[in-house]
Amino acid sequence: MSKFVNQITFITGAGSGIGRATALAFAKAGAQVVVAEVNEENGRKTVEQIQEMGAGALFVRCDVAYPTQIDAAIRQTVDAYGRLDIAINNAGIGGKYGRLVDQTQEDFNQIMAVNVGGVFYGMQAQIRQMLLQQKDETLTNGNQLTPPQPAGGKIVNVSSIAGVRGMPMGAPYSASKHAVIGLTKTAALEYVRQNIRINAVCPVYTHSTMVDELINTAPGMEERMRRMIPLGRFGQPEEVAQAILWLCSDENAFCTGQALQLDGGMTAG
């Protein structure tokens, strides 16, 4: 599958789990991937894995809790490749496992800064760049009789099944992932005429560092989590990656403002 040949694809949190699987899947499909990560060692490892596949990738250090770092990362992307076609706002943290009254202001603020701020400021920087590209293209094609089709762009934000239902012992996390869906739907409506399609994915428990941490919070936790999923297993990062690719593909051009639940049937009942 080479659906994304030379598409410049910016992915946050691509040093691990779902982000890394998504980076590898886009690279395999022909994209030029920008790995934006706060963990430099892991981010560079993803870049190495992509290069071993014979594809190109760039590492940019970026803590998504800081808008200036996101702006700088998008600037570095454009300096290197000249444009931005696809952005995946995936970086996220799970936060503290505990009841609502035991969550501190610091716990709440940290998760909001990364999980919500990362998506909000991420989309601001990404959409600004995508709009700029359209202006350039309109100027170049300005003397044609038919108005040029806006080049547009695609954005996928990584929410969670905790973004569509409550998550006992994770109130700030659940609130942050609900917010990601609100941002996704609103931005999708605001930029639909500019041909920027914006969707979200909402995975249930998926094998990753984040889920391993949750599993280790109590004995028997893994089994309890597994029983909540009708399919009887956790998701794989590669399965989430494939859904993200599909959301970004041109075959899926009519889909925007959606929050796709990848939950082994959990919310069907």
Residue numbers annotated as active site: 173
CA distances from 243 to 15, 100, 200 (A): 19, 32, 10
259 binds ligand NAD (CB under 6 A): no
CA distances from 199 to 29, 100, 176, 254, 266 (A): 20, 29, 16, 11, 20
Of 8, 11, 19, 76, the one binding ligand NAD (CB under 6 A) is: 19
Token pair belonging to 73: 């990362």
Instruction: List binders of ligand NAD among 119-158 (CB under 6 A).
Output: 158
Q: With CB under 6 A as the contact rule, which of the stretches 38-46, 50-58, 139-147, 246-254 interacts with ligand NAD?
A: 38-46
Token pair belonging to 95: 């936060």
77 binds ligand NAD (CB under 6 A): no
Q: With CB under 6 A as the contact rule, which of the stretches 17-25, 75-83, 125-133, 140-148 interacts with ligand NAD?
A: 17-25
107 phi/psi in degrees, rounded to 5: -55, -50
**What are the beta bridge partners of residue 198?**
155
Instruction: List binders of ligand NAD among 211-250 (CB under 6 A).
Output: 211
Report the C-alpha gap between 166 and 267 in whole angstroms.
12
| Closer residue to ligand NAD (CB): 91 or 130 | 91
Minimum CB separation of residue 30 from ligand NAD in Å reads: 23
Nearest alpha carbon to residue 248 among 18, 88, 13, 57: 88
Report the C-alpha gap between 60 and 135 in whole angstroms.
26
Of 4, 8, 11, 13, the one binding ligand NAD (CB under 6 A) is: 13
| Closer residue to ligand NAD (CB): 11 or 134 | 11
Q: With CB under 6 A as the contact rule, which of the stretches 60-68, 130-138, 139-147, 247-255 interacts with ligand NAD?
A: 60-68
| Closer residue to ligand NAD (CB): 112 or 196 | 112
Minimum CB separation of residue 149 from ligand NAD in Å reads: 32
92 binds ligand NAD (CB under 6 A): yes
| Closer residue to ligand NAD (CB): 81 or 173 | 173
Question: Is the separation of the CB atoms in 32 and 57 below 8 Å?
Answer: yes
Report the C-alpha gap between 81 and 70 in whole angstroms.
17
263 binds ligand NAD (CB under 6 A): no
- Residue 180: CA atoms inside 13 Å, Cβ hemisphere, count? 37
CA 129 vs. chain centroid, Å, equals 17
Report the C-alpha gap between 260 and 17 in whole angstroms.
19
208 binds ligand NAD (CB under 6 A): yes
31 binds ligand NAD (CB under 6 A): no
16 binds ligand NAD (CB under 6 A): yes
| Closer residue to ligand NAD (CB): 8 or 262 | 262
